[in-house]
Amino acid sequence: MDILVWLFKPIQPFVMHPERIAAVAGILFIGFFVLLSTRRFRSWPILVPAFVWSLFVPWEAYCNAQKYNIRADLVLLYPVLVVVTVWGVAAAFRRRKEERTMAAANMKNKGLLLQLQDLSSC
């Protein structure tokens, strides 16, 4: 199997279908508002891939209207979409720094409490 065919297989459902690309952008924007309402995770990183996917919609609509069948632009656009989307989702679902430090402090306090309980039981 050709390596390019294998690499570009995941983008095939979106080629010549700007409505599917708009759906991905919409899902990412909805994810932003959901994360914003929970306030447990950072919400702004999900805006970056949502914005990039929404920029891809008019370009794909233009390519679809012109009936372009050789898409050399995907060699550049597809890696950017993948990297930005993976980064945005991963960065959004990392807990906030203050929550991580509070969680670490709670774990440390629980450890000290358990040690004190062990000493008092002796």
Reported as a single tens digit per residue, the pLDDT across 65-84 is 998 878 888 888 888 999 99
What's the pLDDT tens digit per position in 81-116?
999 999 998 888 876 665 656 655 555 555 555 555
**Residue 1 has what pLDDT?**
57
DSSP 46-112: GHHHHHHHHHHHHHHHHHHHTT----TTHHHHHHHHHHHHHHHHHHHTSBPHHHHHHHHHHHHHHHH
**Where are the chain's structural domains?**
3-95
What's the pLDDT tens digit per position in 40-69?
777 888 899 999 999 999 999 999 999 887
